[in-house]
C-alpha cells in the first residue's frame, strides 16, 4: 500500500521535520524541512504554512521559512 502525505509533522528515523506533498502537473511531489522538536512539542498551537509560486515550494513554521 502506498501512503501519500498532504501535511505531516513528526519523526522519520532520526529526522524530525515537516513534510508536505502536492499533486503538480500530474505528478506527486513531496518535500520536507527539519525543525526543532522542542519548539513544536511545547504544548502550544503553532502555524504551519506552505507556499508555491510556480517555481519554489516553501514551508513556514510560525512565520519563519
For the segment 3-55, what is each residue's pLDDT rounded down to a tens digit?
555 777 777 777 788 777 777 677 777 777 777 777 777 889 988 887 878 78
Alpha helices of 1-65 — where are they, by DSSP H? 37-40
pTM over 0.85? The answer is: no
Measured CA to CA, the distance from residue 62 to residue 43 in angstroms comes to: 14
Answer whether 48's CB lies under 8 Å from 59's CB: yes
Q: What is the pLDDT of residue 2?
A: 53
Confidence of residue 62 (pLDDT cuts 50, 70, 90): confident
Q: Are 22 and 57 in contact (CB under 8 A)?
A: yes
Residue 1 pLDDT > 50, yes or no? no
Distance CA 6, CA 52 (A): 14
User: Which pLDDT value is given to residue 5?
Assistant: 59
Say if residue 18 is exposed, middle or buried (CB neighbours under 10 Å; 0-12, 13-18, 19+). Answer: buried
Amino acid at each position: 500500500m502506498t501512503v501519500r502525505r498532504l501535511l505531516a509533522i513528526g519523526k522519520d528515523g532520526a529526522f524530525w521535520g515537516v513534510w508536505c506533498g502536492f499533486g503538480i502537473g500530474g505528478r506527486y511531489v513531496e518535500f520536507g524541512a527539519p525543525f526543532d522538536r522542542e519548539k513544536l512539542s511545547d504544548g502550544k498551537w503553532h502555524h504551519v504554512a506552505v507556499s508555491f509560486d510556480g517555481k519554489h515550494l516553501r514551508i513556514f513554521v510560525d512565520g519563519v521559512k
